[in-house]
Amino acid sequence: MGIYQKYIMPKVLDFLCSTKPIQYQRKKVVHQAYGNILEIGIGTGNNIPFYDKSKVSKIIGLDPSENLSKIAKIKSQKYNLKIEHLKNYAEDLDLKDETIDSVLITYTLCSIENEEKSLSEIKRVLKPDGILIFCEHGLAPDYKISKWQNLLTPISKKLAGGCCLNKNIYNLIQNNGFKFENINKMYIPSTLSLYAYQYWGIAKKNI
């Protein structure tokens, strides 16, 4: 692993993922997680301050990157939130079937290489009435933005840990075995237009 990937990228990701408008997005979704929670791609732990501790039985914080998880561990101590860290990819979850009440995924579907496999794994580990809470940036509906998202995705993938700018989050979730309880889509303010179009809400297994 190069110096950029090991030392610089975690700081860049932490900075990009903790701007004021993005923190505001987290505030809308994270508190809804309850019971046995699996956070996919916990990264540097930017969601930690927003959990409603009174609803939490257990949090499993999954991430393939130890460098990012190290920062999340420090944050969890600061906020006195116990997290079981799991070094694992979403594509192949080392968890039993139907054991999770809430899966939380924020700003991570963009970086996951095989979203279909990951969503199928999420479906497998969720209890029948479990919820998938998501908040993601993705493909904008306006061509003047989406053309740049398509053009710049190869560079973004290289510089920002695999982050694709042009995933249609609505289609991805709906076409991979989930139905929406609620879904919101809009350009969030004060955010670079490549990242501004965001999708957030709750989906359940389409059984």
Ligand X SMILES: C[S@@+](CC[C@H](N)C(=O)[O-])C[C@H]1O[C@@H](n2cnc3c(N)ncnc32)[C@H](O)[C@@H]1O
Binding site for ligand X (CB under 6 A): 13, 17, 40-43, 46-47, 63-65, 68, 89-91, 106-108, 111-113, 161-163
Going 77 to 63 to 88 to 123, the CA torsion angle's sign is positive
Q: Which lies closer to ligand X via its Cβ, residue 111 or residue 198? A: 111
Sequence-distant (6+) residues with CB within 8 A of 86 are 60, 61, 62, 63, 94
Shortest Å, Cβ 16 to ligand X: 7
Contacts 24+ apart (CB under 8 A), 25-29: 25/106, 25/135, 25/188, 25/198, 25/200, 26/50, 26/106, 26/135, 28/135, 28/200, 29/104, 29/106, 29/133, 29/134, 29/135, 29/200, 29/201
Q: Which lies closer to ligand X via its Cβ, residue 142 or residue 162? A: 162
Shortest Å, Cβ 172 to ligand X: 14
Shortest Å, Cβ 180 to ligand X: 20
Of all residues in this chain, which one has the CB nearest to ligand X in the complex? 43
Q: Which lies closer to ligand X via its Cβ, residue 91 or residue 98? A: 91
Q: Which lies closer to ligand X via its Cβ, residue 64 or residue 177? A: 64
Length of the chain: 207
Q: Which lies closer to ligand X via its Cβ, residue 145 or residue 163? A: 163
* Enclosing H/E stretch for 60: strand 56-62
Shortest Å, Cβ 143 to ligand X: 25
Shortest Å, Cβ 53 to ligand X: 19
